[in-house]
Amino acid sequence: MNARYTKLLVLIITIIILYKTFHYFQLTEDGNIEEEIEDIGKVTVSVHYEALCPDSKFFISHQLLPTYRDLTKFISLDLIPYGKAQTIENDNEIEFHCQHDAIECFANKIHACVIEKINEPLVQLEYITCMIKDNHIPDEAGEKCGRSLNLDYSPISECASNAEGSKLLKKHGERTNSLNPPVKFIPTIELNGSQNLVSQPQILKDLKSALCTVLNYKPSKCS
């Protein structure tokens, strides 16, 4: 009797394993197998950029945002607005010199505050992409983009206009200045903390393709 029960139990377990295996590997047209994977291994994409830099504008608008939308589950987004700026501290006051003058410094602060105040990475990126298309009047761009995303711009504006924004931008500067090798071109992109996993020209030209070469699991969007 025990042997019969044992055989029955083995049969039931085998059926369950086969079902789970079939269900796991069954691809749908939408690539829903990705929903079954709990640990897919994200790549951290760190973007060192400037708010008024044309190359930053192009990369964020045409490479970063579309790629992030396609590969959201596979990307840990890390935005660092600072670039080739300089931080100057005198008597506990923080000032910045930026490549595209004071307007860019203020726009960088707004971007830093967007990153600080908005927790959802996609919303952060959509906000910054909206702003970077026309940052020449940063406050107007920030308010307009906030409205377009149904977000209150007031906390971001307040942050950018006081010491909080300066401290945030200083931290971004410290991160940028710690890069090895040092930043030469803006934007500079790190994948998992490295500038060398994929060449910078390849990343700037085709971010999705660059990420797909790094990912352990190749999602359907990589095909």
Least confident among 88-92, 95-99, 151-155: 88-92
94 confidence band (pLDDT: 50, 70, 90): very high
Hey, is 42 helix, strand or coil? coil
Classify domain 43-222 by CATH number.
3.40.30.10
CA 26 to CA 33: how far, in whole Å?
Answer: 7
CA 179 to CA 5: how far, in whole Å?
Answer: 64
Residue ranges of the domains in the chain?
2-36, 43-222
CA 64 to CA 153: how far, in whole Å?
Answer: 23
* Mean per-residue pLDDT, 101-106: 95
| Rounded-to-10 torsion of CA 191, 197, 199, 205 | -40
* Mean per-residue pLDDT, 143-171: 97
Neighbours of 201 (CB within 10 A): 10
pLDDT at 26 over 70: no
pLDDT at 43 over 60: yes
Mean pLDDT of the chain: 88
pLDDT at 37 over 80: no
* pLDDT value of position 120: 97
CA 60 to CA 16: how far, in whole Å?
Answer: 46
Give the residue with greater pLDDT, 17 vs 28.
Answer: 17
The 3 state secondary structure assigned to 68-93 is HHHCHHHEEEEEEECCCCEEEEECCE
Percent of the chain with pLDDT over 90: 74
Helix axes 154-161, 138-148, angle to 10 degrees: 160
* Mean per-residue pLDDT, 151-170: 97
28 confidence band (pLDDT: 50, 70, 90): very low
